[in-house]
Amino acid sequence: MVIYSIDAFADMSQDIKHLRVKIFDKLSKIVDPEINTSIVELELIDEVDINNNDVKVDLHLTSPFCPAVFGFKICQDIHDNLLAVDGVDDVKVNVSNHFMAEQINNQVNNSPNPKKPGLTSKS
């Protein structure tokens, strides 16, 4: 679970705070398809980094051998849902501690970004 000090929040601009709220609202609606529980409730999100309008999400799955199809679905949902947030231009997902982490990360992060027509996301 990600924990931030009050001082860290005080230093963030209001725009970043508002964007962070929208991002976590979207993340809280993404569910693990195997157990139908929010990934936020399951505490699978390790870190969310916002740099201008680019977002990087670090997460882990419920187990290192979570079925790859479910891991891919969760990561793709994060990528696609966060790209739908106003103020987010690019999303990178980094799943760790999974037997197919590299393959999942490559496929999700190279999937089309509708905000950049004709291009895929940068790796």
Taking only the tens place, the pLDDT of each residue in 85-121 is: 999 999 999 999 999 999 999 999 999 987 776 544 4
Average pLDDT of span 44-61: 97
Domains in the chain and their CATH numbers?
6-109 (3.30.300.130)
Predicted confidence at residue 123, as pLDDT, reads 45
Tokens of 107: 């496929």
pLDDT at 5 over 60: no
Q: Write the single-letter amino acid at 44.
A: L
Predicted confidence at residue 40, as pLDDT, reads 98
Predicted confidence at residue 110, as pLDDT, reads 96
Predicted confidence at residue 113, as pLDDT, reads 87
Predicted confidence at residue 96, as pLDDT, reads 97
φ, ψ dihedrals at 51, nearest 5°: -125, 105
Beta pairing partners, 92 = 56
Predicted confidence at residue 4, as pLDDT, reads 54
Predicted confidence at residue 15, as pLDDT, reads 87
| Alpha-carbon gap, residue 47 to 91, rounded angstroms | 13
